[in-house]
């Protein structure tokens, strides 16, 4: 089937199988391998991307459902020169250990701060409830989100 | 497998006539079941962008919710927060942000999990479901919709268009609690929801619904009747615990044993009633 959509600001058009998941379209067809597959069943959040401005599990979206949609993956955050302030905050606070969950956390953070620029700790926990990290114990991730929120607000 | 995004209900009904066709909305259950080999549809009919299955509106003393409206939109809806606030509270605990951004209440009900979080508040609000087929429309009470784990009265070629919730009379207290291993994304070990009208320490009206302790999410009408009119005191709490323990039929599974579920549901009921007593 023919799919047209916008990924990270770029229009794309491809022929794909009807049963392809959005995750596989992003990774295998478009070779954007920043988005990870963890559990493949919507529990871990490693495959989180933004679809029309909302965080979704790309493993649970059929690629064809993203036809005409606007998708942002972790590759779409940086301008290609400097890291996005959220990415920079994750690096500086030590919120990245093995790094496998990080793209998903960063996209969930991006969606959270877009709607809630100055989140309380409770709001951060709720915004990241769909993401699992096996390394950090989450404390550093909370620090990263707070730092990123502060810098994004200051830059406005 | 064929994929089709339908743009009107005529197209939907025509597509659903195909023997192996299945409706796809948010995909939060269907995609998992397909991957696990539990479902092998010949066609996925995508209704997630069908206008007639979207939206939330007030109709006199009822609230009508389109079956494909996302759980996020329902959770945030000012109409829902004003008229049936418990639904918004419960949806905040369903799945995760990512799941709620895709999942629909229609899908949650059709999936018919005994643990369906969305079913609990809907049962409390005496929800009726609008089923549409080529033969016409029928309305069915949610209580009569589930027939077993993963099973409903939905016929082949039929779809759920909307849910109609009866807005209850004011002056009630509400309670909902889900016991599970993780706050987000947990499949309930046991859940209980309650609406309670108290007047001078007497139970004027009580509605209770439970999840994960019977083959389907269900109302507990018999217990509601037995508790109505009783003075809310410690003796009533003890009696209520006994009634609910006798009324449910939990199973032992990977998440918890039947005896644990009986204990925990009794605790939840006592907690719910006790919140009004103390």
Write down the mean pLDDT value for chain B.
93
What's residue A84's pLDDT?
97
Give CA angle at B173 (B170, B174), nearest 5°: 110
CA distance B210 to A2: 45
Place B37 in a pLDDT band, splitting at 50, 70 and 90. Answer: very high
User: What's the N-to-C CA distance of chain A in angstroms?
Assistant: 42
What's residue A20's pLDDT?
97
Q: Do A41 and B35 touch (CB under 8 A)?
A: yes
A-proximal residues of B, 39-58, CB under 8 Å = 44, 46, 48
Fold of B173-277: Enolase-like; domain 1 (3.30.390)
Beta bridge partners of A54: A51
Query: Where are chain B's structural domains?
Result: 50-166, 173-277
CA distance A59 to B27: 10
CA distance B240 to B237: 5
- A and B: number of Cβ contacts within 8 A: 84
- What's the pLDDT tens digit per position in B44-58? 999 999 999 999 999
Report yes or no: A127 and A69 within 8 Å, Cβ to Cβ: no
- What's the pLDDT tens digit per position in B135-186? 999 999 999 999 999 999 999 999 999 999 999 999 999 999 888 876 666 6
What's residue B182's pLDDT?
65
Q: Do A42 and B28 touch (CB under 8 A)?
A: yes
The three-class DSSP label of residue A103 is helix
pLDDT above 90: residue B113: no
Structure tokens at B49: 């962008």
Q: B43 — alpha (psi -120 to 50), left (phi > 0) or beta? A: beta
Report yes or no: B18 and B42 within 8 Å, Cβ to Cβ: yes
A-proximal residues of B, 175-204, CB under 8 Å = 183-185
CA distance B84 to B65: 12
Q: Do A41 and B184 touch (CB under 8 A)?
A: no
pLDDT per residue, tens digit, chain A (156 aa), is 999 999 999 999 999 999 999 999 999 999 999 999 999 999 999 999 999 999 999 999 999 999 999 999 999 999 889 999 999 999 999 999 999 999 999 999 999 999 999 999 999 999 999 999 999 889 999 999 999 999 999 998
What's residue B184's pLDDT?
62
**For the residues of B25-52, what is the DSSP string, one character each?**
SS-TTHHHHHHTTS---SEEEE-TT-GG
As a residue count, chain B comes to 278
Q: Do B5 and A43 touch (CB under 8 A)?
A: no
What's residue B115's pLDDT?
80
Number of other residues whose CB lies within 10 A of the CB of residue B130: 19
The three-class DSSP label of residue A21 is strand
What's residue B94's pLDDT?
87
Name which CATH class applies to B50-166. Answer: alpha beta
What's residue A156's pLDDT?
80
- State the nearest Cα–Cα gap between A129 and chain B, in angstroms: 6
Q: Do B185 and A129 touch (CB under 8 A)?
A: yes
Place B3 in a pLDDT band, splitting at 50, 70 and 90. Answer: very high
Chain-centre distance for alpha carbon B162: 13
More confident residue, A136 or B12: B12
What's residue B275's pLDDT?
82
User: What's the N-to-C CA distance of chain B in angstroms?
Assistant: 58
Structure tokens at B12: 């939907």
- B139-162 residues labelled b (16+ CB within 10 A) or e (exposed): ebebbebbeeebebebeebbbbbb
> Which domains are seen in chain A, by residue range?
2-76 (3.10.20.30), 85-154 (1.10.150.120)
CB-count burial class (<10 Å; 0-12, 13-18, 19+) for A39:
middle
pLDDT above 90: residue B114: no
DSSP tag of A29: I
What's residue B259's pLDDT?
86
Across the interface, which of B72, B102, B183 has its CB nearest the CB of A129?
Answer: B183
- What's the pLDDT tens digit per position in B175-230? 998 888 766 666 778 899 999 999 999 999 999 999 988 889 999 999 999 999 99
What's residue B9's pLDDT?
97
Nearest CA in chain A to B33: A41
What's residue B34's pLDDT?
95
């Amino acid at each position: 089937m023919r799919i047209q959509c916008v990924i990270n600001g770029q229009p794309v058009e491809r022929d794909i199988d009807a049963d392809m998941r959005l995750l596989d379209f992003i990774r295998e067809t478009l070779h954007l391998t920043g988005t990870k597959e963890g559990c493949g069943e919507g529990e871990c959040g490693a495959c989180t991307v933004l679809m029309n401005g909302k965080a979704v599990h790309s493993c649970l979206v059929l690629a064809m459902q993203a036809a005409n949609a606007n998708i942002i993956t972790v590759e779409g955050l940086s301008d290609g020169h400097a890291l996005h302030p959220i990415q920079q905050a994750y690096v500086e606070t030590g919120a990245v250990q093995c790094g496998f969950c990080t793209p998903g956390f960063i996209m969930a953070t991006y969606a959270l701060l877009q709607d809630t620029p100055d989140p309380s700790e409770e709001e951060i926990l709720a915004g990241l409830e769909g993401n699992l990290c096996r390394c950090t114990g989450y404390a550093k991730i909370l620090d990263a989100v707070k730092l990123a929120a502060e810098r994004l607000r200051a830059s406005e | 497998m064929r994929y089709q995004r339908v743009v009107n209900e005529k197209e939907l009904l025509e597509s659903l006539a195909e023997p192996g066709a299945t409706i796809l909305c948010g995909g939060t259950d269907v995609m998992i079941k397909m991957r696990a080999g539990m479902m092998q549809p010949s066609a996925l009919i995508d209704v997630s962008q069908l206008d007639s299955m979207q939206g939330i509106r007030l109709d006199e003393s009822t609230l009508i919710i389109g079956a494909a409206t996302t759980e996020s939109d329902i959770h945030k809806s000012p109409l829902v927060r004003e008229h049936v606030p418990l639904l918004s509270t419960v949806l905040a605990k369903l799945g995760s942000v990512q799941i709620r951004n895709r999942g629909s209440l229609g899908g949650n009900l059709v999936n018919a999990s005994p643990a369906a979080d969305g079913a609990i508040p809907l049962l409390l609000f005496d929800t009726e479901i609008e089923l549409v087929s080529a033969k016409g429309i029928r309305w069915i009470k949610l209580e009569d919709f589930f027939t077993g784990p993963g099973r409903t009265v939905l016929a082949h070629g039929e779809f759920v268009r909307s849910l109609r919730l009866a807005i209850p009379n004011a002056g009630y207290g509400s309670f909902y609690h889900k016991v599970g291993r993780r706050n987000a994304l947990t499949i309930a070990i046991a859940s209980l929801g309650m609406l309670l009208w108290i007047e001078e320490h007497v139970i004027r009206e009580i509605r209770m619904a439970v999840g994960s302790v019977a083959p389907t999410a269900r109302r507990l009408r018999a217990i509601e009747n037995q508790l109505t009119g009783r003075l809310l005191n410690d003796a009533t709490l003890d009696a209520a615990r006994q009634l609910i323990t006798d009324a449910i039929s939990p199973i032992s599974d990977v998440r918890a044993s039947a005896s644990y579920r009986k204990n925990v549901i009794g605790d939840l009921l006592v907690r719910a009633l006790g919140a009004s007593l103390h």
